[in-house]
Amino acid sequence: MSTDFSKHQSLITKFRGLVNKAGFDAKFSAATNKLAKTESFLLKMELKRLASPCTRSIDLRGLVDGDCQIFDYQGQKHFLDEVAISVFNDNVEVYGGYTFGVYEAVKNTENNFRNIYKNEQANISRITPKASSTVEKKQYSAKAYLFDNYPDRREERMNFAVAITLVLGKQSEASATSVDISVSGIKLRLTNETPLSVGQEIQLVFTGLEQEFHFGKDSVFIYQVQNKLLDGSTQLIGCQRIDVPERDGFEQFLKGFIQGNKRRYKINLDNSIQSLQARSFEQFALMKLNELPVFIQQGADGHVIPKYVLTTTNSQPSYQYWKHEDNSSALNYLITKERFLHLQAQRGSLLVYSFIHQHQGKSFFYSMDELQGKNDMAFFTQFIGFAASKDSFAVTELSLLDLDINKAHSPFTLSSAVTKQQQYINSPPSDEVFKNLSQLSHIIVVKSLQDKESLHDYQQFSYSGIDRQKLKLFGHKRLKDKLPVDEIGINYKNQRQEPRFKYKTPAIIACQSITWSGVSEDFSVSGLKLNLDEPAVLAAGDVVHLSFPNLQKITSAFDLKGLPYKVVRINKAKTTINLRVSVKEHQHIGRSFFKLLIEKNRDKLTPDEYAMLTPGLAEALRTLYATQLAVPALAVQTSGSRYKVETLLVSEAAKQITSEGLYGHMQRLSDRKGFYNLYPILSNLQASSSIDNHLKKLLATDESVTELLYIAINPNIEQIERAVTTKLASELNTPELTRFFIKKSLKQGELYCIKLKLSRADSPQMEYLNPELSYIGSYAIHRGKQIEQEIWSVAGIVQLFDVTTETLFRYKVLSEQEMSLTQH
């Protein structure tokens, strides 16, 4: 029978660790004199139990929301995360050693998945003291997830602690402990100050293994240091084995040892978990981009050619704006050679103001940027005022990103033993894709900034007496030839490997002496889609034989009868079927025929969507932009019946911006290392309520909604609630009030203007995420379920557009106009 001591938790906390000390009985009796004798006796026995020595090892891997490492206490090894280590040390100090009280406290930390789940289910609303609630209001902690290439885990690493001896010279040795081990690599924990450097060759003796296994004479193995991490007085050394002989016995031993013991010691899943979390957030963020990433090709004459553009539902209006009346692209008017060279030299951003004049059914684009207006500010402000009077007025910000085509692929962090399906989903770019990518030099990010508030301000710019002849100089001459820009919609569903072409021709299917007739809908080199006249009794995986009677009439070089194809998909009505060539030993005749047909008739054939795009290029371009993602975003996740914002999404390459400006402040305001304090954004109750209210109404197919925040930060004040002031644009409901807030903020410290662009998240494409999720779940089922729950909890994405530069420009011009009117 177990007794519930939860109601006496305060007494247990008060007397923990004191049961064996002098004076305990008197103090305990005084504190429990109102309790029944039986209850007092049981409580005393519980305190004695908690203070009794414990010999159990603790392994929290897969049980807590944290990365576990080996923790050694008096020769006994435990696997604990940082939170558990802190709890362990605190309780050991209280109890005077490792007792059952320490054991239970460590097993019951706040970040234990059991407690997290229990709190979520109960939706507990804790009442905290006023002092604590003040801290709660100050901290809106968010963890940063970085988008970048993920290391390709060729081998599984098994968590395994065993004694190792390092042989550094003839008379120099050091003792270490392994952290994890793979067939060709090992990570060591070295507690002494032995100097090691990356690239250094060392000799290892597996002292702990030699007690059970005999390796013969060759028991010393050569490794090379690959990486080094200092953690206080401890060194974590990553090594790779070198000079491995053919048919090496130790290598074969490790393969068998890891395969036979990996469930016992558990596979190191840190890389896979980190990769899956970042990859899932990356998918959510990219699907809701509001900016346009334009991939640039530089011509031989130095001209800048927009080659590809990535689009989403949110960015379609921006893309459509820069189009002619015949639907051809006009991005070359926005991204000019001069603007490109300026961005390349300055590495900042550039504001461009534009409008479109319609004449005789044709579109004529006019644009002027900061660089052009620098030498004639009077005309620049007139141009903006004139443009703002047009319905087609637009404010666009351009920024430049470098391109590293070696980052065009983010492989799964799995061992090399992946299934064919996983290779199909995550296959590396082909040589043809890399050939196309090698022609690209940079990415220009196009951000549309205009809104109702800014339009009202710009319409105050006077354009009285504007020089019409000078205005014509900023009109763009129409090109005779259309600009060949390929639009690529960001999509994780499209796994097409070959170009498809729409083509109708009769076909006859035969399977086990039964035939069906139909007509092709489209075809590629390796497959085709058929619509049958009658339902077919077929299933995915069946091999059928196809004949093409009409195509056979136009060729005698190919025998187009009884060609083997495999059924890869069939609809519920059994009338639409997708087929792929079935090859066993010889070259497939159908593949050869259709390849020749496409090559000779490419101009005549009607392409399907993305047909003319090199297979795999869309995925490569998407991955390249993810590694450079220019606009930070927040993930909004469900937590019971409410929403929470605890995740900041940014690329590794753009991480620099998170150490500057507003993001630098949020990092400094955080009380947790590696986290950001979103207080400047989320402390405004109206802004937080607006996010919640919009999310309840938004659909995944809707365009994003926008809220504008003015954030003032006084760096000279330490108290967060006094140092940071955040106002929604709607709270500053008059232009005068807005300009007063800006003026006061700049006088006292710094001002940031952030547009929150909120979108309802699409459902995650689990086919893209399942390989890593299944791998994690096979070794840590609870962790896998927890991550899957986190993936499905993402309800919205909030992109953070920094419009400070554009806002301050408006403020400066309007202030100068007001001053000028006052003087007159």
Tens-place pLDDT, residues 254-266: 988 988 887 777 7
pLDDT at residue 679 in the model:
92
For residues 647 and 571, the model is more confident at 647
Query: Could you give the CA distance from residue 366 to residue 394 in angstroms, rounded to a whole number?
Result: 10
Q: What is the DSSP string of 789-802?
A: HHHHTEEEEEEEEE
Query: Could you give the CA distance from residue 118 to residue 316 in angstroms, rounded to a whole number?
Result: 43
Structure tokens at 308: 């590809």
For residues 369 and 252, the model is more confident at 369
pLDDT digits (tens, 9 = 90+) for 725-759: 999 998 887 888 888 999 999 998 999 999 999 99
Residue 616 corresponds to which amino acid? G
Residue 4 has pLDDT above 70, yes or no: no
Range scoring the smallest mean pLDDT among 108-122, 548-562, 593-607: 108-122
Q: What is the DSSP string of 107-161?
A: TT-TTBHHHHHHHHHHT------HHHHHHHHH--EEEEEEES------S--EE--
pLDDT digits (tens, 9 = 90+) for 314-342: 999 999 999 998 888 999 999 999 999 99
For residues 566 and 150, the model is more confident at 566
| Contact criterion met (CB below 8 Å) for 761 and 700 | yes
pLDDT at residue 58 in the model:
87
pLDDT at residue 8 in the model:
66
What is the average pLDDT across 387-412? 92
Query: Could you give the CA distance from residue 103 to residue 11 in angstroms, rounded to a whole number?
Result: 19
Q: What percent of the chain has pLDDT over 70?
A: 89
Query: Could you give the CA distance from residue 488 to residue 619 in angstroms, rounded to a whole number?
Result: 10
Query: Could you give the CA distance from residue 705 to residue 757 in angstroms, rounded to a whole number?
Result: 6
- Please, is 360 exposed, middle or buried when counting C-beta atoms within 10 Å of its C-beta (0-12, 13-18, 19+)? exposed
Non-local CB neighbours of 597 within 8 Å, separated by 6+ positions = none
pLDDT at residue 569 in the model:
82
Pinpoint the alpha helices (H) of 335-467: 337-346, 370-373, 377-388, 420-425, 431-437, 452-458
pLDDT at residue 752 in the model:
94
pLDDT at residue 133 in the model:
37
Non-local CB neighbours of 549 within 8 Å, separated by 6+ positions = 506, 508
Phi, psi at residue 292, to the nearest 5°? -110, 110
CA-based torsion, 413, 417, 419, 424: positive or negative: positive
Domain limits, the chain: 6-127, 158-266, 290-403+440-477, 501-609, 623-823
What is the average pLDDT across 696-700? 90
Name the fold adopted by 501-609.
Thrombin, subunit H (2.40.10)
pLDDT at residue 512 in the model:
87
Any long-range contacts for 598-605 (C-beta under 8 Å, 24+ apart)? 598/499, 598/501, 598/525, 605/501, 605/502, 605/503
| Contact criterion met (CB below 8 Å) for 445 and 292 | yes
Residue 140 Cα to chain centre, angstroms: 20
Q: What percent of the chain has pLDDT over 90?
A: 32
- The most distant pair of C-alpha atoms in the chain lies apart, rounded to whole Å, by 107
pLDDT digits (tens, 9 = 90+) for 339-355: 999 999 988 899 999 99
Residue 117 has pLDDT above 80, yes or no: no
Query: Could you give the CA distance from residue 778 to residue 772 in angstroms, rounded to a whole number?
Result: 10
CATH number of 158-266: 2.40.10.220
DSSP code of 200? Answer: -
Residue 665 has pLDDT above 70, yes or no: yes
> What is the DSSP pairing of strand 292-298 with strand 442-448?
antiparallel
Helix (H, G, I), strand (E, B) or coil at 87: helix
pLDDT at residue 479 in the model:
82
Range scoring the smallest mean pLDDT among 617-631, 656-670, 688-702: 656-670
Pinpoint the alpha helices (H) of 236-330: 249-265, 270-286, 316-321
Give ∠ CA 181-67-174 in degrees, rounded to 5. Answer: 45
pLDDT band at 153 (very low <50, low <70, confident <90, very high): low
Structure tokens at 304: 């800048």
Residue 769 corresponds to which amino acid? L
DSSP code of 388? Answer: H
Query: Could you give the CA distance from residue 395 to residue 377 in angstroms, rounded to a whole number?
Result: 17
pLDDT at residue 55 in the model:
84
DSSP code of 655? Answer: G
Specify which of 234-243, 578-587, 640-649, 796-805 reaches the highest per-range mean pLDDT. Answer: 796-805
> What is the DSSP pairing of strand 304-311 with strand 486-489?
parallel
pLDDT band at 126 (very low <50, low <70, confident <90, very high): very low
Residue 1 has pLDDT above 50, yes or no: no
Other CB atoms closer than 10 Å to residue 337's CB: what's the count? 15
pLDDT at residue 644 in the model:
92
Phi, psi at residue 483, to the nearest 5°? -85, 120
pLDDT band at 129 (very low <50, low <70, confident <90, very high): very low
